[in-house]
Structure 1
Amino acid sequence: MTTPDEQETWTIAELADAFDVTHRTIRHYEELGLISPERRGTARVFHRRDRTRLALILRGKRIGFPLEEIRTIIDMYDETPGEEGQLVYLLDQIAARRADLEQRRADIEQTLRDLAEVEDRCHADLRDLRGA
């Protein structure tokens, strides 16, 4: 029996099941040119390259990259500056994403502190109004 790693091609249903995404999601990535399955009549036949690109797209989405950024990163592998340039660019994007998330975390923590302060004041004011 052939394992998914040994398979040469996949149908859209097989990829959708393997990555737990909808057929529509895969077709959307195809429409955007992020993956390019072979067409046999009306059937889409996905090769290892498509499967790898789909895995990279989904990983990029999970860590918060927009699709255009994912396209840039993935396409760099096949173009100049190649894999090394791709990795350097990706590291820069990771650093920027991390900095953005750290700032968001700091903003959320400050907002939570502000809410706690307002809540405490509301409770104190309510106690004063009730004469407790």
Structure 2
Amino acid sequence: MENYFDITMTDDQLRTISSIGLAHMGDAVFEILVRTWLCAHGKATGKGLHQATIALVRAESQAEMAGRILPLLTEEEAAVFRRGRNAQVHSVPPHASRAQYGEATALEALLGWLWLKGRKDRINELFCTMMEE
């Protein structure tokens, strides 16, 4: 039986997953990191917590955060990021530009790829950099 809480996929397995699939996984990873960060920083209060989560997981915020980590990415990570940014998305939320949505999708694809690769340490490192003020 697989342990889906602690999965490690091979490079060959990861190459079979589409950019959209990686972004789908990364969206969930980012959401749980943001929720954990908000709770750990004392922002766990009902409606305010939900609004704070939404503000951080919006494409505009993700695009800004992606800019903070781009210089830190390895060549392999940067390639995954570019692959995610070039994904063919069919709709863009009205509050985000296509460029912002592309950067957000790229960030999510990178996080999904790192998660499936079993690189929680690297995800945490990048997330901490994203959340620095």
Instruction: State the TM bucket, normalised to the shorter chain.
Output: under 0.3
Bigger-Rg structure (1/2): 1
Q: TM-score, normalised by structure 1?
A: 0.28
Q: TM-score, normalised by structure 2?
A: 0.28
Q: Between Structure 1 and Structure 2, which shows a larger proportion of strand residues?
A: 1
